Amino acid sequence: MAQNFTKLNPQFENIIFEHDDNQMILNFGPQHPSSHGQLRLILELEGEKIIKATPEIGYLHRGCEKLGENMTYNEYMPTTDRLDYTSSTSNNYAYAYAVETLLNLEIPRRAQVIRTILLELNRMISHIFFISVHALDVGAMSVFLYAFKTREYGLDLMEDYCGARLTHNAIRIGGVPLDLPPNWLEGLKKFLGEMRECKKLIQGLLDKNRIWRIRLENVGVVTQKMAQSWGMSGIMLRGTGIAYDIRKEEPYELYKELDFDVPVGNYGDSYDRYCLYMLEIDESIRIIEQLIPMYAKTDTPIMAQNPHYISAPKEDIMTQNYALMQHFVLVAQGMRPPVGEVYAPTESPKGELGFFIHSEGEPYPHRLKIRAPSFYHIGALSDILVGQYLADAVTVIGSTNAVFGEVDR
């Protein structure tokens, strides 16, 4: 008996291509190794030159924003680890900062010192990871090996502090879960020395490498107008010469007290962005070296004191009935913030990471919105890639340093 089969025709959703005999359409991804995630690019080529690029996202969508609207405020914290999973502490902090702004909490100074140290340590780990995989994409295998070795030392420090190497969950609403372990700062000082040596080694391999510079210079150029129109932030924006860093413009934690510079580029190309990542590692080292002596001058509380929103210290919970009951209510029912809206921006390693929270006074947000930098930078590929050669697409995509955990939210 004959069977009827429905013929499946390839379709490009709502996309109209106009091409002649010298043009072709190429599917780039969603499982291409250089996409660093689930990115599909529909490229229209004329010869080897890209004349149109259409990013298609959504292959890693997990509904992270909707999850936040169905969890209590404290329950949602580990989920933020899974946004930019190469710098999870930055995600933890950005969410906690938004909730603390909504609650109008005062964070103890020791917790602020620890948080700022963790944020800058996390920034260095993220930056060295980017440099290693970006160099690997272009073909510099040695850089990948040296950089990953140094990154492991930084992950060892994070593991010593919070018990995890990738998804840290190292920040709490109101402070931090733990004080720094004994001799942890000594290990941090050693890591800073290792990072300096690794940075010198990488610069020796890349900065005057003729092939590296040919592959990056004048490739993936972003103009100031393009950066502003697409809402770019972080190094993608600063590479164009605009010195905008939220740690300077809207300081949080201890950044107002710290002395550091905001490096900027001149040409907005991939090489400028590489140089800025290297320079920002120097600034993170400089910041941490200022924070280490501050730690010894702080008192022991590491969590805010507010019984309506924050559990009492564990010693009190184990010995006092009222503290135990208050802890039970906060865990079982969740805190109830005041009615209102808040948007709190932070400077993550990728750019501006902010959380918008609309509260109706319930134990969970009425609306949670995540402003993730990678989302805007991936969208801009439709402009950045036009005029580039197909062989340079890998370089351009890598230079955006996008992570799809925060693109597909």
What is the tens place of the pLDDT at every residue in 99-143?
999 999 999 999 999 999 999 999 999 999 999 999 998 888 899
What is the band of 85 on the pLDDT scale with cuts at 50, 70, 90? confident
* Rounded percentage of the chain residues whose pLDDT exceeds 70: 93
130-159: average pLDDT: 92
Give the domain range for residue 261: 80-353
pLDDT of residue 118: 96
Mean per-residue pLDDT, 34-59: 86
pLDDT, one tens digit per residue, over 353-381 is: 999 999 999 999 999 999 999 999 999 99
- Please check whether residue 281 lies inside any domain of the structure: yes
27 part of a folded domain:
no
pLDDT for 4 beyond 70? no
Across the range 1-27, mean pLDDT stands at 61
Number of domains in the chain: 1
Three-class DSSP category at 1: coil
pLDDT reported for residue 363: 92
Query: What's the CATH number where 309 sits?
Result: 1.10.645.10
Q: Is residue 368 part of a domain?
A: no
Q: Is residue 60 part of a domain?
A: no
Residue 5 pLDDT grade (very low, low, confident, very high; cuts 50, 70, 90): very low
Instruction: Give 203-220 pLDDT, tens digit per residue.
Output: 999 998 999 999 999 999
Residue 257 lies in a domain: yes
Residue 17 confidence (pLDDT): 55
Most confident among 30-39, 98-107, 299-308 (mean pLDDT): 98-107
Q: Is 45 strand, coil or helix? A: strand
* pLDDT beyond 60 at 225: yes
237-242 contacts at long range (C-beta below 8 A, 24 or more positions apart)? 237/351, 238/262, 238/263, 238/264, 238/265, 238/276, 239/264, 239/265, 239/267, 239/268, 239/269, 239/272, 239/273, 239/276, 240/265, 240/268, 241/265, 241/266, 241/268
Q: Is the pLDDT of residue 59 over 80?
A: yes
Examine residue 297 and state whether it is found in any structural domain, yes or no.
yes
| pLDDT band at 332; cut points 50, 70, 90 | confident
* pLDDT(304) > 70: yes
Domain assignment present for 90: yes
Find out whether 300 and 292 touch, Cβ atoms under 8 Å.
no
